[in-house]
Amino acid sequence: MDRYIVFLQAEENKSPLTVANYRRSLNLLLELMDVSAPEDINKMSIRSLKVALHSSKARKGSALTISTKNYHLTVLRAFLRYLLQDEELEVYSPDRVRRFKEGERQVKVLFHDELQRLLEAPDTSTKIGKRDKAMLQLFFSTGMRLAELRSLDRKDLNFDTREISVRGKRSKIRVVFLSDDAVFALKEYLEARIDHITPLFIRNFDKARDAMPPGEEFRLSRISIYNAVKKYARAAGIVSDPSPHTLRHSFATDLLRNGADLRSVQELLGHQDLSTTQIYTHVTNPQLKEVHKKFHDSST
């Protein structure tokens, strides 16, 4: 397992976050599987693993979702493939590790009025409010993932072209674009900062003022960004409990509802496969609404 982690870093160039997630998943698999060596993995041990995954709990005590269970099985498949190809061990075929059948993925999006209330929720008379307003506007303007937004540095912003080059999953670079509202919010936030450190979104403004660059220790954490979105959603009275990813969903559906083609949305989101982007077509197809209106007689 340790050699596989090194392989992910050195050969696959996986991000630190991906490597950390793989390590956690492998540790869980080692805990749940009753095997002492890779060669001991067989049909029965895989079946026992699936039963154990059904009984496992997430950090908050809730049962694991099907997508989380399948993630662990995907990691196991990748590990077995590494053992076959790189360590040349005779292990169980990764293709025989079948994932659980998933229902169609549900997409949570915000209604227009909810979105407006959320974006207006931060108190921009404070530095924290200016920062959080800029984060929310940037999420909705670009459809960035939480990890992508967190990793941004000040130098990544180009207000002249209103573009940002983002390094997404699998280290793929894509260009995202800033709306007028996002530009305004970001400029207000940056004008309120009197430090010289590198990260775009930071904590402890007063301490950061005297810090020497790069000041990585002041970069806002993933959980802080996540909790900020949750906090402003509650303040805005949004009962659907949106997350940063909900803003990404809202960005995609907003584009499609306004006539953007699927391929362009795929590029803007950084999806590798078009099938991933197609989940949004179910909530943005205006023709279905017209068919219902035209042919469904509500009086019967």
Domains of the chain: 2-96 (1.10.150), 112-285 (1.10.443.10)
Percentage of residues in the chain with pLDDT exceeding 70? Answer: 92
Known active-site residue 296: no
Looking at 15-19, 250-254, 289-293, which range is the least confident one? 289-293
Mean pLDDT comparison of 37-41, 99-103, 168-172, 187-191, highest-scoring range:
187-191
Known active-site residue 150: no
**pLDDT > 90? residue 14:** no
pLDDT band at 300 (very low <50, low <70, confident <90, very high): very low
Give the up-direction half-sphere exposure of residue 133: CA atoms within 13 A in the CB hemisphere.
24
Torsion over CA: 13, 15, 18, 22 (sign): positive
Residue 25: CB atoms within 10 Å: 19
Known active-site residue 248: yes
Q: Which of 245, 257, 293, 294 is catalytic?
A: 245
Q: Which of 69, 77, 150, 271 is catalytic?
A: 271
Q: Which of 14, 145, 150, 219 is catalytic?
A: 145
Residue 61's pLDDT is what?
Answer: 78
CA distance 200 to 102: 38
- Mention every residue, 6+ apart, whose C-beta is less than 8 A from residue 66: 100, 101, 102, 103
Known active-site residue 145: yes
Q: Which of 117, 169, 174, 193 is catalytic?
A: 169
pLDDT band at 288 (very low <50, low <70, confident <90, very high): low
Write the single-letter amino acid at 200: L
- Give residue for tokens 């078009």: 274
Q: Which of 69, 219, 248, 249 is catalytic?
A: 248
Q: Which of 4, 22, 232, 280 is catalytic?
A: 280
pLDDT band at 256 (very low <50, low <70, confident <90, very high): confident
- 8 Å CB contact between 225 and 149: yes
